[in-house]
């Protein structure tokens, strides 16, 4: 009888522990790039978030190196289960739970980070993203592009118009990018990021679209020779938080997380505002030729890309993004 009573007591205590608010101490934030405050906007966000919380008594935030807890799929799974508290992730992580999120990466859609930020907050885009991700255990806390607008990199020649891409075979991130390149009249092939160097060196791919500092960060300057400042889209990275962990925090600790998010956003946007000149100098120093797109040439890219928007998002979601963007422009 005493054993049964002791067992019941243990179960009761265990239930009480489980029901307690989550501890603010000893949480991890999984990185998606090298810890480089000069060149990685994603890391600027993560590091600022961690340092803000670490300055508060009772908080210990550890930065987990890229790949330390697995790839994108593994990070997402651990966030959903509450095994990982915070992670820097790709847009697909949110899009796989709520396809509405893919509007953040529409090609040639956004004109500035200020326009995107206004859409996220005043336009209700972030709230609608989270309406679809939180039931799956994921809270999207912030959008933190790795760098400024993406451009077109290639190994062959300068590109100043859509027609000049006709002989290139581009690396695509996913089917959505394949559809975009098809709309542009360009061939492409899906290649994982870790396989990009080999693909460029062997001719499997002739180029990719990414932020200006990426070839320098990842050591691709030995074979990438040309960059077109196409202002295509932001290489969107997102900060995701375990909703189970967040919901278990006290109101005070949730407020600390909100404050840390705001501080990280501010630091990231300040960093982003300084990138264009630095990126140009970095490419020049690496021997990469820099080409500007004329407004007319970019408008042609934009018109062709727009033919993929409805298929990517659906009419209702696209209308919401257009309304949010137009509200800022007007």
Q: Does position 119 have pLDDT exceeding 70, yes or no?
A: yes
What is the per-residue pLDDT for 25?
64
Tens digit of each residue's pLDDT (9 = 90 or more) over 302-314: 999 999 999 999 9
What is the per-residue pLDDT for 276?
78
Q: Does position 27 have pLDDT exceeding 60, yes or no?
A: yes
What is the per-residue pLDDT for 44?
97
Tens digit of each residue's pLDDT (9 = 90 or more) over 216-226: 888 999 999 99
Mean per-residue pLDDT for 90-101? 95
User: Phi/psi of residue 196, each to 5°?
Assistant: -60, -45
What is the per-residue pLDDT for 23?
52
Mean per-residue pLDDT for 9-34? 60
- What torsion do the CA atoms of 177, 180, 185, 189 make, to the nearest 10 degrees? 10
What is the per-residue pLDDT for 4?
41
Mean pLDDT is lowest, of 7-21, 89-103, 157-171, for: 7-21
What is the per-residue pLDDT for 10?
36
Q: How many CB atoms lie within 10 A of CB 197?
A: 16
Q: Does position 21 have pLDDT exceeding 80, yes or no?
A: no
CA distances from 22 to 18, 82, 135, 254, 278 (A): 9, 10, 19, 11, 42
Q: Look up residue 14 and give its two tokens.
A: 């265990």
pTM of the model: 0.86
Q: Does position 17 have pLDDT exceeding 70, yes or no?
A: no
Tens digit of each residue's pLDDT (9 = 90 or more) over 191-206: 998 999 999 999 999 9
Q: Does position 86 have pLDDT exceeding 50, yes or no?
A: yes
What is the per-residue pLDDT for 24?
59
Mean per-residue pLDDT for 17-27? 54
User: Phi/psi of residue 65, each to 5°?
Assistant: -60, 150
Mean per-residue pLDDT for 79-101? 96
In DSSP notation, 238-285 reads: EEEEEHHHHHHS-HHHHHHHHHHHHHHHHHHHHHHHTHHHHHHHHHHH
What is the per-residue pLDDT for 3?
43
Tens digit of each residue's pLDDT (9 = 90 or more) over 236-273: 899 999 999 999 999 999 999 999 999 999 999 999 98
d(CA 65, CA 31): 6
Tens digit of each residue's pLDDT (9 = 90 or more) over 39-55: 899 999 999 999 999 99
The conformational region for residue 292 under phi > 0 = left, psi -120 to 50 = alpha, else beta, is beta
Q: What is the mean pLDDT of the chain?
A: 91
What is the per-residue pLDDT for 279?
84
What is the per-residue pLDDT for 254?
96
DSSP three-state, residue 225: coil
What is the per-residue pLDDT for 222?
92
Q: Does position 6 have pLDDT exceeding 60, yes or no?
A: no
Instruction: DSSP letter for 21, please.
Output: P
Domains of the chain plus CATH, in order, are: 25-147+235-276 (3.40.190.170), 150-234+277-329 (3.40.190.170)
What is the per-residue pLDDT for 20?
38
């Amino acid at each position: 009888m005493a054993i049964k009573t002791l067992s019941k007591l243990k179960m009761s205590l265990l239930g009480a522990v489980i029901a307690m608010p989550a501890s603010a101490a000893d949480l991890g934030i999984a990185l998606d790039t090298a810890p480089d405050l000069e060149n990685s906007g994603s890391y600027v966000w993560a590091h600022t978030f961690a340092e803000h919380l670490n300055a508060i008594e009772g908080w210990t935030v550890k930065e987990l190196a890229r790949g330390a807890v697995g790839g994108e799929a593994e990070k997402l799974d651990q966030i959903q289960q509450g095994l990982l508290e915070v992670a820097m992730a790709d847009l697909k992580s949110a899009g796989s739970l709520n396809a509405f999120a893919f509007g953040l990466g529409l090609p040639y859609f956004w004109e500035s980070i200020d326009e995107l930020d206004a859409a996220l907050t005043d336009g209700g885009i972030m709230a609608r993203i989270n309406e679809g991700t939180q039931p799956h255990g994921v809270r999207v806390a912030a959008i933190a592009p790795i760098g400024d607008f993406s451009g077109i990199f290639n190994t062959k020649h300068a590109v100043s118009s859509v027609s000049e891409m006709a002989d290139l075979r581009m690396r695509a991130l996913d089917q959505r990018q394949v559809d975009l390149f098809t709309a542009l009249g360009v061939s492409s092939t899906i290649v994982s990021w870790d396989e990009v160097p080999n693909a460029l060196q062997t001719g499997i791919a002739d180029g990719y679209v990414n932020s200006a500092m990426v070839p320098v960060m990842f050591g691709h300057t030995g074979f990438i020779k040309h960059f077109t400042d196409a202002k295509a889209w932001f290489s969107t990275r997102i900060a995701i938080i375990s909703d189970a962990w967040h919901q278990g925090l006290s109101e005070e600790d949730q407020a600390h997380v909100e404050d840390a998010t705001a501080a990280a956003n501010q630091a990231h946007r300040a960093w982003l505002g300084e990138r264009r000149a630095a990126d140009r100098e970095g490419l020049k120093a690496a021997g990469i030729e820099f080409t500007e797109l004329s407004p007319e040439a970019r408008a042609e890219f934009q018109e062709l890309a727009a033919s993929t928007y409805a298929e990517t998002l659906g009419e209702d979601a696209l209308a919401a993004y257009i309304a949010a963007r137009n509200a800022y422009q007007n």
